[in-house]
Amino acid sequence: MMPESLQLIIMGPPGSGKGTQSVALARDIGAEHISTGDLFRYHERSATPLGIQIQDFMKKGDLVPDDITIAMLKDKIASLADNVGYILDGFPRTLNQAISFDKMLTARDCRLDLVICIDVPGKQLEDRLLGRIVCMECSLVYGNHVDGEYTGYCNSCGGKLHKRVDDSDKEVIGYRLKKYEEFSFPIMDHYQEYGILHRIDGTGLVSEVTDAIKEVVATTFKGTLSFNY
């Protein structure tokens, strides 16, 4: 049986595998995958007022300002049915966002169960980001590790695959990695204090990293969690 409202955060530098792992885990534990990057890209693609407001930040690899990001996430969380479990991917990215999220949870009388940080060294991250291809429609992530022919269309939804603008320029990639270095430590300290931070080696095969994450999740929710294989 699933515990009610399983709330997880998957953090890690750009390219560490947050999206890849969140999709797999969300499917296996029946949780919703919420990626703030995907939400922003949806707004950009749809040219909503929010999309127009944030497009320059995204292109340059800058963090979108906290007030905009927090408001968007708050709306998303408010739209979820009660007791839905979810995996946050790419949020929080600043301590201020983490503290705001604590308050959101308190207001909803919910808890945060686990924060998993995927660790991968810088050089590998750059290579992965330069090789990353994503679906424009469903945001599914592809990359150099994917076997089989690259057809230009998504295996899952048939959408067109493309390279993200912010993955196309080494300088922008370097800038995003630097920003992560700058902002992530206070966030990790914050969750370390709550005793819910788990760091995972993200350098192995995708399946090995998935297994390591599942082990942490299963240990945390011993006896209350079953995976939908």
- Phi and psi angles of residue 87, each rounded to the nearest 5 degrees, phi first: -120, 120
Q: Amino acid letter at 112?
A: L
53 or 192, CB closer to ligand ADP? 53
Pairing of strands 161-162, 114-119: unpaired
Q: Does 191 bind ligand ADP (CB under 6 A)?
A: no
Q: Does 140 bind ligand ADP (CB under 6 A)?
A: no
Nearest CA to 187 out of 17, 7, 9, 4 is that of 9
- Piece of the chain touching ligand ADP by CB under 6 A; list 45-53, 108-116, 203-211, 215-223: 203-211
Q: 8-37: which residues touch ligand ADP (CB under 6 A)?
A: 12, 14-20, 36-37
**What does the per-residue mask of binding to ligand ADP show for 81-100, with x meaning CB under 6 A?**
---------xxxx---x---
Burial class (CB in 10 A: 0-12, 13-18, 19+), 159: middle
| Catalytic site positions | 18, 93, 132, 164, 176
5 or 97, CB closer to ligand ADP? 97
Q: Per DSSP, which regions of the chain are E strands?
A: 7-11, 32-35, 86-89, 114-119, 133-135, 141-142, 161-162, 197-201
What is the edge-to-edge ordering of all strands in the sheet holding 161-162?
A: 141-142, 133-135, 161-162
The least CB distance from residue 190 to ligand ADP, in Å, is 14
**Which residues make up the interface to ligand ADP (CB under 6 A)?**
12, 14-20, 36-37, 40, 57-58, 61-64, 69, 90-93, 97, 128, 131-132, 141-143, 145, 166, 176, 205-206, 209
